[in-house]
Amino acid sequence: MKVSAQVVVIGGGVVGASVLYHLTELGWTDVVLVERKELTAGSTWHAAGGMHTLNGDPNVAKLQQYTVGLYREIERRSGQNCGIHMNGGLTLAGDRERMDWLRMAQARGRYLGMDMEIISPAEAKRMFPLLEEQYFIGALFDRDEGHVDPSGVTQAYAACARQAGAEIYQHTWVSDLRQRPDGTWDVMTDAGEIHAEHIVNAGGLWAREVGRMIGLELPVLAMEHMYLITEDMAEVAEYKAATGHELPMAMDFDGELYLRQERGGMLLGTYEQACVPWSPRETPWTFDQQLLTPDLDRIAPSLEVAFKHYPALATAGIKNVINGPFTFSPDGNPLVGPVPGVRNCWVACAVMAGFSQGGGVGLTLARWMVDGDPGEDIWAMDVARFGTWASLAYTNAKVRENYSRRFRITFPNEELPAGRPLHTTPVYDRLTAHNAVWGAGFGLEHPLWFQRPGEEPREDVTFRRSNAHPVVADECTTVRERVGLTECSNFAKYRVTGAGSAEWLQGLFTNRLPRVGRINLTAALDPGGHIVGEFSVARVGTDDFFLFGSQIAEAHHSRWFRGHLADGVRFDVLALSLVGLSLAGPRARDVLQSVTGVSLATADYPFMTFRRIDIGMIPAHVGRMTYTGDLGYEIWVAPEYQRALFDLLWQAGQPYGIGLFGFRALMSLRMEKMFGTWAREYRPIYTPAEAQMRSLRLDHDFIGRAAVEAELARGPARKLSYFDVTPDPAEPADVLGDEPIWHDGAVVGWVTSGAYAHYSARSLAFGYVPSELAVPGERFEVEIIGQRRPAVLLPEPVLDPAGERMRA
């Protein structure tokens, strides 16, 4: 065994093997993989090997597409049979919502170049004669689905990596991990120590235990999962005889089950409601290529549906029932990337669909390690999307919810209840008393809208307009015509202090730093000129700053800032030690002026001022700006003052007709002001030139500047554009995000986000299209739930394009 290596990958399941392979592909060949038993000994060996490209997140779908396409290549290069069966797959819908979901999935696939087809029940029956047509109203057919041999794939990755110089040590257990002061690692194994620059935790079923070796509690939980294999079936043989090929795979939403051919019989797996976590606190090290006791009673409801929908299964003999554990994160997507706060420590775990996702996970992690950047938009898989609030118990609640909803639709306006409320701010009870409908982001509850008094604070889930629509319209009117009050604690808040802070931040940000007492917007870029984040920067001293950013990216962005930290500079995540309330609307100044002695007249407190002032008796930092685009203030206080602040403002606002507004109204208001948002319009796949960001000043040096200049010189290939969309008048639906944008009969771009702008009475959308088409007045179509709706590109915000309201 080597005594030192550049990288030690811990775990030889399909994911660890893929990471090892991709590292060697990118030229890192001094790499080893350590496996406690044999390759595949964790959850990999008993997997059903199914693979598909369909995923709710288009970026993950793209990586799944890459994974599926990789198998032939590694099979060819390694000479190892991967057992590839590309039979295609049907996703079957039994009701209208599911059909809508399939139409949207097909639409998303269009701009990723996926060739998916919506077919009728009769066509589905022709492709998959086992099904009973009457239970379905349609299906999505995807040619790029199939199944592989789990062991063959893992061995093929391993063989290719070995060919390139990687070494694999089986029957070698990593028992401890110790970091040296220089950030390198001593990897302790039962066969000796390896000194490594980097470690990768690909421990699968034991990823949690490997994390604990360095005091890390990863949000991962294993669930029991069952599938059964039938005896050979005459119907399967007849199909093969008639068509010359195998049956396609089938996913059946109603039965919460999937089916595929396995030799001469069928394999049927379920995601049952009565799901059971496995080893919820600790995975035993003694577990080795074992299976769990099957419990057919638990999957009986799914089997009942299966026997109804596919009657031939009811009479087929059962040859084998497999029950095995595999891991999930709280939202079902993998955990990938550098562990925040720990140098040279990487994870690739919680991969619940190793055969759809393992290749993409390996590729992006390897790029991240070798190039310092994953090279794709992997936000949905970033380990930093969870904070410390994702505890063991939270993970348990969320993973069970997620598992049991595997084949359920999560509507875009749906807030799932498990593990909530967990994080709340002091005004939570006040807002609940005002009938708040709550959502959660990064673990924190925030008000979505305020139901009318006496009515149940509940939102109907839908792809179209919900019962919130008219109420949110009223909230928007309150803001635009009088004054609205909302909570704004759901921003990430950071404080940067210490000698050299200004110089450090200036080297990270695209905009000039504001003067003391001022606030401005800026972007941060990677060296390739892609957007790392968008922040409001408030300066309270020469070397003293508050930064405000996207809350969901708090761990993601703080990892980035800390990764670039300069000597002498202190970077603190303020989290809920700073909470906020925001006043917005033409009477906002009147309300605030009535409770402070500081003059708020525009001459004294102009737009984009940020100062420490007292509101009543409450010490606060007050920024004169809001995301509504109206006259407004964001008021930041220590949490112990937030209730008093709320009461004070609410009281003071009564003569001015104050009302509460929530996140839904905010999204509507920002759309009519053409304000983009992080994770939708601004993501690491876009550049500031593409995103048309105004916070770009080329008068100072900053990370990514050379790339920006080069792009500006040649002109961006695509541009963020703003559209007025005409919804179907019979059944209006607004864009949700990720819809394809059509032009002259071809898909030319995609929607990033949108909303109904209540106050302007228009349905609006943001999206990226090729620069040559990004011309005001140009006509497009946006595909909304299977319908191509007209959209025209707008030159400027539909409301107050000169920005007079916020400067008033």
Ligand X SMILES: Cc1cc2nc3c(=O)[nH]c(=O)nc-3n(C[C@H](O)[C@H](O)[C@H](O)COP(=O)(O)OP(=O)(O)OC[C@H]3O[C@@H](n4cnc5c(N)ncnc54)[C@H](O)[C@@H]3O)c2cc1C
Applying CB under 6 A, the residues found at the interface with ligand X are 10-16, 34-37, 41-44, 46-51, 173-174, 202-206, 210, 225, 227, 322, 324-326, 349, 351-356
Closer Cβ to ligand X, 286 or 654, answer by number: 286
Closer Cβ to ligand X, 151 or 435, answer by number: 151
Q: How far is the CB of 231 from ligand X (least distance, A)?
A: 19
Q: How far is the CB of 473 from ligand X (least distance, A)?
A: 44
Closer Cβ to ligand X, 228 or 574, answer by number: 228
Q: How far is the CB of 807 from ligand X (least distance, A)?
A: 54
What is the CA 195 to chain-centroid distance, rounded? 34
Closer Cβ to ligand X, 292 or 792, answer by number: 292
Q: Give the type of residue at 656.
A: Y
Q: How far is the CB of 278 from ligand X (least distance, A)?
A: 9
Closer Cβ to ligand X, 248 or 354, answer by number: 354
Q: Which two tokens stand for residue 73?
A: 């290549």
Q: How far is the CB of 109 from ligand X (least distance, A)?
A: 19
Q: How far is the CB of 49 from ligand X (least distance, A)?
A: 5
Q: How far is the CB of 175 from ligand X (least distance, A)?
A: 7
Of 659, 319, 284, 737, the closest CA to residue 482 belongs to 659
Asked if 291 and 41 count as a contact pair (C-beta separation under 8 A), the reply is: no
Q: Which two tokens stand for residue 645?
A: 């602040």
Q: How far is the CB of 306 from ligand X (least distance, A)?
A: 16
Q: Give the type of residue at 715.
A: G
Asked if 14 and 154 count as a contact pair (C-beta separation under 8 A), the reply is: yes
Of 323, 30, 318, 49, the closest CA to residue 165 belongs to 30
Q: How far is the CB of 353 from ligand X (least distance, A)?
A: 4
Q: Which two tokens stand for residue 566?
A: 């300069």
CA distance 405 to 399: 10
Closer Cβ to ligand X, 290 or 388, answer by number: 290
CA distance 645 to 647: 5
Closer Cβ to ligand X, 203 or 653, answer by number: 203
Q: How far is the CB of 222 from ligand X (least distance, A)?
A: 8
Q: How far is the CB of 727 from ligand X (least distance, A)?
A: 37
Pairing state between β 174-179 and 185-189: antiparallel
Closer Cβ to ligand X, 42 or 121, answer by number: 42
Contacts of 577 (CB under 8 A, 6+ apart): 638, 639
Q: Name the residue with tokens 């490997």.
A: 210
Asked if 702 and 533 count as a contact pair (C-beta separation under 8 A), the reply is: no
| Phi-psi group of 774: left, alpha or beta (phi > 0 → left; psi -120 to 50 → alpha; rest → beta) | beta
Asked if 585 and 481 count as a contact pair (C-beta separation under 8 A), the reply is: yes
Asked if 678 and 534 count as a contact pair (C-beta separation under 8 A), the reply is: yes
Closer Cβ to ligand X, 174 or 735, answer by number: 174
Q: Which two tokens stand for residue 221?
A: 């939980």
Asked if 502 and 491 count as a contact pair (C-beta separation under 8 A), the reply is: no
Q: How far is the CB of 725 from ligand X (least distance, A)?
A: 37
Closer Cβ to ligand X, 202 or 479, answer by number: 202
What are phi and psi for residue 420, nearest 5 degrees?
-140, 155
Closer Cβ to ligand X, 50 or 360, answer by number: 50
CA distance 739 to 748: 11
Of 496, 485, 751, 493, the closest CA to residue 628 belongs to 485
User: Using alpha carbons only, how large is the chain's radius of gyration in Å?
Assistant: 27
Closer Cβ to ligand X, 331 or 734, answer by number: 331
The CA dihedral of 504, 506, 509, 515, to the nearest 10 degrees, is: 130
Q: How far is the CB of 179 from ligand X (least distance, A)?
A: 16
How would you write 349-404 as a 3-class SS string?
Answer: ECCCCHHHHHHHHHHHHHHHHHHCCCCCCCHHHEHHHCCCCCCHHHHHHHHHHHHH
Q: How far is the CB of 715 from ligand X (least distance, A)?
A: 42
Asked if 446 and 428 count as a contact pair (C-beta separation under 8 A), the reply is: no
Closer Cβ to ligand X, 227 or 411, answer by number: 227
Closer Cβ to ligand X, 13 or 797, answer by number: 13
Of 221, 418, 423, the closest CA to residue 332 belongs to 221
Closer Cβ to ligand X, 179 or 467, answer by number: 179
User: Distances in Å between the alpha carbon of 771 and those of 322, 354, 604, 715, 775?
Assistant: 53, 37, 42, 8, 8
Contacts of 302 (CB under 8 A, 6+ apart): 255, 256, 257, 270, 271, 272
Closer Cβ to ligand X, 203 or 623, answer by number: 203
Q: Give the type of residue at 475.
A: E
Angle formed by the axes of helices 14-25 and 354-371, nearest 10°: 40
Q: How far is the CB of 386 from ligand X (least distance, A)?
A: 17
Asked if 148 and 154 count as a contact pair (C-beta separation under 8 A), the reply is: no
CA distance 560 to 374: 13
Q: How far is the CB of 453 from ligand X (least distance, A)?
A: 49
